[in-house]
A and B are shown apart, each in its own frame.
Chain A
Amino acid sequence: DSGVTQTPKHLITATGQRVTLRCSPRSGDLSVYWYQQSLDQGLQFLIQYYNGEERAKGNILERFSAQQFPDLHSELNLSSLELGDSALYFCASSDGLGIAGANEQFFGPGTRLTVL
């Protein structure tokens, strides 16, 4: 158990819908990262938050957005869902920005999203 929690575990929805995925980082971790894992694209970085502020953006679609709340949990919002958005969505947390570079990232169990 990494200490990172994600809900829900599974989500099945229809095209055009909107869903919210939730992540709670390890106790004390300030950084939250979101990754998408699909069969054809592998593990891809979406977005990072640090202590409530957006820190870095990756290959995140405009239909997707995220935020980190004062209690440090984060939510990833996916809207106007398409079949191709079906994937495993992971969040990871680390304890900061790192003095000597990146710090270890610990992954949550993931949310499996199926868009029908």
Chain B
Amino acid sequence: GENVEQHPSTLSVQEGDSAVIKCTYSDSASNYFPWYKQELGKRPQLIIDIRSNVGEKKDQRIAVTLNKTAKHFSLHITETQPEDSAVYFCAVSPGSNDYKLSFGAGTTVTVRA
């Protein structure tokens, strides 16, 4: 099955700085890469996603980049705010008639005021 590795496991940043989380995957046929944000005790919330035919996607302070050759994708959060503090999960869907998500282990982001 798909193996998704996520780094770092914890990230502490000063408010206003940028945060970057990177994920690597093993199946070169994978074609859908969402990012979820999960606050303590809450549901994972989809914050941005990218498909394999696109290299970069941006939504306000959040961006995702995909390098299919190297099989890695990254989440970039700029101008971080305290409300960005949460656990972030990357996920990968194999595509090709298989739509389940394989998740990374998560990154706990803390934004220091």
Binding site for B on A (CB under 8 A): 2, 31, 33, 35, 42-45, 48, 55-56, 58, 90, 94, 97-98, 100-110
Contacts of B103 in A (CB 8 A): 42-44
Specify which of B43, B93, B104 is in contact with A101 (CB 8 Å cutoff).
B93
Interface size on B, residues (CB 8 A): 27
Contacts of A90 in B (CB 8 A): 43-44
Asked if B59 is at the interface of the complex by the 8 Å CB criterion, the answer is no
Query: When each residue 60-95 of chain B gets 1 if its CB lies under 8 Å from chain A and 0 otherwise, what string results?
Result: 000000000000000000000000000001010101
Taking the nearest CB of chain A, how far is it from the CB of B1, in angstroms? Answer: 8
Whether A105 touches B45, Cβ cut-off 8 Å, given contacts A31-B99, A48-B100, A58-B100, is no
Contacts of B105 in A (CB 8 A): 42
* A56/B101 in contact, CB under 8 A: no
Assembly CA distance A48 to B34 (angstroms): 18
Binding site for A on B (CB under 8 A): 31-32, 34, 36, 42-46, 49, 51-53, 89, 91, 93, 95, 97-106
Contacts of B45 in A (CB 8 A): 2, 107
* A45/B101 in contact, CB under 8 A: yes
Q: Which residue of A lies closest to B43 (CB)?
A: A107
Assembly CA distance A97 to B51 (angstroms): 15
Assembly CA distance A55 to B34 (angstroms): 21
Assembly CA distance A94 to B34 (angstroms): 13
Contacts of B102 in A (CB 8 A): 45
Contacts of A43 in B (CB 8 A): 44, 89, 91, 101, 103, 106
A-B contact pairs, 14 of them (CB 8 A): A42-B103, A42-B105, A43-B106, A45-B100, A45-B101, A45-B102, A48-B99, A94-B99, A101-B95, A101-B99, A102-B95, A107-B36, A109-B42, A110-B43
